[in-house]
Structures are given as C-alpha cells and as structure tokens.
C-alpha cells in the first residue's frame, strides 16, 4: 500500500518546489514488524510522503507487512490486505528493500538471510541480530551484491553508526564511549526524581522505550549488543566474537542512585570501547558515577549520548532521543533514503583484537556488611581505599585506582557471604573522607 499524503494545505512556494521534483522512482518495501518501531515507520512514511517525493524524488510503497497477528486492528494508514503472518510468503515478496523491525534473531535471521542472499537490501533496527550475526550477514550480502544497514540499531535517532562510518578513512578512534540505552537512562532519571523502580520501569514501558524483555535494558545486555556493533564499525572486530565486560543495574538500580547521590554525583550506565594497547581494544558496560555537571550526568530520560575520542582537543559528541518509536523510525527512514548505501565492510583495514583491561580506575564497592568487614576484605586483596561510609549494615567504599582484575576476589568473597556486593566505576574528582 502506498504511503498516502495527508490532506494539509501546502504553501504556494512549497507546491512549486514539489511540482519541480515529482517522484520519479518507487521503492517497494517489505516491512517485518508493525509494533512500536514498525508502526512509527509506517506513520512517518505516510505523513512525510510529499516531502520525501519532493526532496528525494522517490515514492515509498509498503507492499507487505509481517506481523504475528495479521487480523488485529492497528492504528496505521495501511489496508488490511497488506498484513501477513506467513513468513514464507513475506520472504518470497519481490521488493527493493526489506525493513526488519520484529526483534530477536530467529525469524529476523531467516528474513535477513533470505533478503541479503538474493541480493535485496536489508535495513534493520535489531541490535541483537546485528551483534550476533552482522559480520556473516554483511558477507552474505556482499556476495549477492546487497547491503546491510543498521543505523537504527544503535542510538535511536542519534546518528552513532553513520558518524562512526563517516569518520573512517581517517584513523580509528581512540575510544567510543556513551549512554546507549534509553530505557535504563529513563529509569535512572526517574529514580533520581523520587520514583520507585517498578513505577519508573512501568513508565518506560508505557512510552514504548523498553525492549520486549526489559531485563536486557536493565542488566546491560542491550547496551553490550550495541557496543559490540560500535566496536565492529570502529575497529573491525566481528561483533559475535567480541568479549564485553558487563555490569548491569540489577537487581536494585535504586542502590546505585543512592550511593552516587551520597558521593555527590550521578550514576549512568556507560558503554566504552577503547584502544588500551597498540593493537588491542577493551569493551566494557558498567555503571559509572560521574560529576553532576558532566555531560553524561546531564543526559536524562531516554536520551543517548556518544562521545568519540579522536585524539583531538575534545571528543566529538552526538546526543538525542535514543529510544521510542518515532526516533527509531526516523533512523530507519534515513537509511532507507540514503542515496549511497553504506556497507558494513567499510570497517577499518587495520585489525584490532580484544584484550583484558589493563587500566586502573577508582571503584565504588558496596555490600550489606559492616565497614570493618568491607575494609578487611579489600585490604586482603591489597586494594587501596580512598574513602568509606557506613550506615546500618550497608557500607560502601571508594577505592584508589585499581585494575578490574584485582577487584574480582573481593566481589567473589562478598558474594559468597551473601553481602549483595555492588560495583561501579567512580569518576569524581575527590570523594568522601580521605583515609590516607
């Protein structure tokens, strides 16, 4: 079904521009998924059909839509006959582009392989699929002469992937670092404003931000998948083989918010992929306590922010709404209208490999134990302490810089004694009572 123009009054000047640039080409699209993201894309194509025709000289026609329940009434401007729940019928459709917005990797993988294998361009918002099979899908497409585009899989409306790809051809970045999950950032912001966790999560789901399984948002898995894609584009490492060290916000995100506030900062779930040796990169997702005035602390609600270190005086940064139907649909549309398909094999020619993190950071280590027990445990592992706070059987310390590996025995011992250990990286200039 054609994305039909809505009945609005178009100013004379705009009419003249449109008259000069009537669509000359039709892009036939098969859309997998008509939920938060797919539905928003259909509405966006409908409401901007005139502008797309005038600016790009194309008309986008959605010829088939795959859903689970083809009979359900949906709030989208498409005729009922366009919907199918038959995957075989969907993949057999002869189209110019397949847009995948169903999520997961089983059916999405079948659709992606079928499209790319027969030379049809695939555009996807599915980070799980790209992180687990992006390199092999891109190779399949290359053989058949088709491209895989996945700008919508990372950052929602924020042009993370296109920014990184546009930077290639110069040097690979020194690091890429940022907030890549809108749901967890939304939850943290609401907790900072006084909500409790169930309330904050329910609000994120209501706004269409959360993944089908919101545990993936909160435990850092969704962020880790996006980071693997970022590392692929930035450093050429196959995302399916990349180890990502991950600390999520579960089971009690409010604890992180409380400790961060006690230290005078804010906690953010930050993903980082950095060159730590000449040919080695380390990828981590972890809660980081940052200063109140920092750009990350000021990134609130569903916004994402990504900083790319290039060895210049400061990082290059992109930010904006990182989840939700309309922002993600905008990114799909941008890939769809991109005149020169950007191929995944534009990755840097130099091969990097993943290595253990040799860097030392300050850490917040907390546990439901006395301060004395916590200090003794850290002391046994030789980890120097910067400051300590304790209240009614719940203590937390900030360490002096220590490597992640050195912290492992401490966390294992606290976990073994059911002390609910919690760890976050600390990036505050000076914290608490100095013990030195």
Ligand X SMILES: NC(=O)c1ccc[n+]([C@@H]2O[C@H](COP(=O)([O-])OP(=O)(O)OC[C@H]3O[C@@H](n4cnc5c(N)ncnc54)[C@H](OP(=O)(O)O)[C@@H]3O)[C@@H](O)[C@H]2O)c1
Q: Give the catalytic positions in this structure.
A: 226
Pairing of strands 148-149, 175-179: unpaired
Please give the residues from 145 up to 184 whose contact with ligand X meets the rule CB under 6 A: 152, 156
212 binds ligand X (CB under 6 A): yes
- For residue 147 the two structure tokens come to 């491209």
* Contact residue for ligand X among 29, 31, 211, 289 (CB under 6 A): 211
In the complex, the smallest distance separating the C-beta of residue 352 from ligand X, rounded to whole angstroms, is 26
Token digits of residue 188: 């943290």
Separation of alpha carbons 211 and 74, rounded Å: 20
Tell me whether residue 328 or residue 395 sits nearer to ligand X (CB atom).
328
Round to whole Å and give the CA distance between 421 and 433: 21
Pick out residues in 349-388 that bind ligand X (CB under 6 A). Answer: none
The DSSP bridge pattern shows strands 97-100 and 25-32 to be parallel
Whole-angstrom distance, CA of residue 76 vs CA of residue 79: 9
Least gap, CB of 424 to ligand X (angstroms): 25
Q: Min. distance of Cβ 232 from ligand X in angstroms? A: 17
Between 15 and 72, CB nearer to ligand X: 72
In the region spanning residues 14 to 43, those forming contacts with ligand X, defined by CB under 6 A, are 33-38
**Could you say which of 141, 265, 324, 432 contacts ligand X (CB under 6 A)?**
324
Residue 67 interacts with ligand X (CB under 6 A)? yes
Q: C-alpha distances in angstroms, 230 versus 28, 114, 251, 306? A: 29, 25, 27, 10
Helix residue spans in 99-248 (DSSP H)? 106-117, 127-144, 160-167, 182-192, 197-206, 215-218, 221-235
Q: Does 188 bind ligand X (CB under 6 A)?
A: no
By CB under 6 A, residue 274 contacts ligand X: no
**Given CA atoms 140, 109, 345, 28 in this order, what sign does their dihedral have?**
positive
Nearest to 257 by CA among 35, 424, 388, 66: 424
Binding test (CB under 6 A) with ligand X, winner from 95, 107, 201, 290: 107
In three-state secondary structure terms, 101 is coil
- Encoded one letter per residue, x for contact with ligand X by CB under 6 A and - for no contact, window 76-95 reads ---------x----------
Shortest distance (Å) from residue 136 CB to ligand X: 18
Q: Does 103 bind ligand X (CB under 6 A)?
A: yes
The three-state secondary structure class of 168 is: strand
Q: How far apart are CA 125 and CA 333, in angstroms?
A: 11
Q: How far is the CB of 324 from ligand X (least distance, A)?
A: 5
Name the site residues for ligand X (rule: CB under 6 A): 33-38, 66-69, 72, 85, 101-103, 107, 125-127, 152, 156, 208-209, 211-212, 323-324, 328
């Amino acid at each position: 079904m054609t994305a039909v123009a809505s009945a609005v009054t178009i100013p004379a000047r705009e009419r003249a521009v449109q008259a000069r640039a009537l669509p000359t080409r039709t892009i036939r699209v098969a859309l997998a998924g008509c939920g938060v993201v797919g539905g928003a894309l259909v509405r966006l194509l409908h409401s901007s059909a005139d502008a797309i025709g005038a600016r790009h000289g194309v008309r986008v026609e959605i010829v088939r839509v795959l859903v689970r329940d083809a009979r359900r009434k949906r709030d989208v401007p498409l005729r009922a006959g366009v919907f199918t729940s038959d995957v075989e019928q969907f993949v057999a459709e002869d189209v110019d582009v397949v847009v995948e917005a169903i999520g997961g990797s089983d059916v999405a993988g079948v659709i992606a392989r079928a499209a790319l294998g027969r030379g049809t361009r695939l555009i996807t918002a599915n980070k799980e699929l790209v992180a687990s099979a992006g390199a092999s899908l891109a190779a399949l497409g290359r053989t058949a002469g088709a491209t895989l585009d996945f700008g919508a899989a990372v950052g929602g409306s924020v042009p993370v992937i296109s920014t990184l790809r546009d930077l290639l051809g110069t040097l690979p970045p020194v690091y890429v670092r940022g907030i890549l999950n809108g749901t967890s950032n939304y939850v943290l912001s609401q907790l900072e404003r006084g909500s409790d966790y169930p309330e904050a999560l329910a609000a994120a789901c209501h706004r269409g931000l959360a993944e089908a399984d919101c545990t993936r948002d909160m435990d850092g898995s969704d962020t880790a998948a996006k980071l693997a894609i970022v590392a692929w584009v930035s450093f050429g490492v196959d995302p399916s083989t990349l180890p990502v060290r991950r600390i999520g916000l579960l089971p009690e995100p409010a604890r992180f918010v409380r400790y961060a506030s006690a230290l005078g900062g804010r906690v953010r779930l930050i993903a980082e992929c950095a060159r730590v040796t000449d040919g080695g990169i380390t990828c981590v997702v972890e809660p980081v306590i940052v200063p109140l005035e920092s750009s990350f602390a000021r990134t609130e609600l569903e916004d994402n922010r990504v900083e790319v270190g290039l060895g210049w005086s400061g990082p290059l940064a992109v930010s904006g709404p990182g989840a939700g139907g309309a922002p993600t649909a905008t990114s799909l549309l941008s890939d769809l209208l991109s005149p020169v398909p950007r191929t995944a094999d534009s990755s840097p020619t130099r091969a990097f490999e993943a290595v253990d993190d040799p860097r030392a950071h300050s850490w917040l280590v907390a546990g439901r134990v006395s301060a004395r027990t916590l200090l003794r445990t850290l002391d046994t592992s030789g980890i120097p302490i910067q400051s300590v706070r304790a209240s009614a059987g719940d203590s937390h310390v900030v360490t002096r810089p220590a490597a992640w590996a050195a912290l492992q025995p401490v966390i294992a011992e606290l976990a073994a004694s059911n002390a609910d250990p919690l760890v976050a990286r600390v990036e505050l200039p000076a914290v608490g009572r100095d013990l030195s």
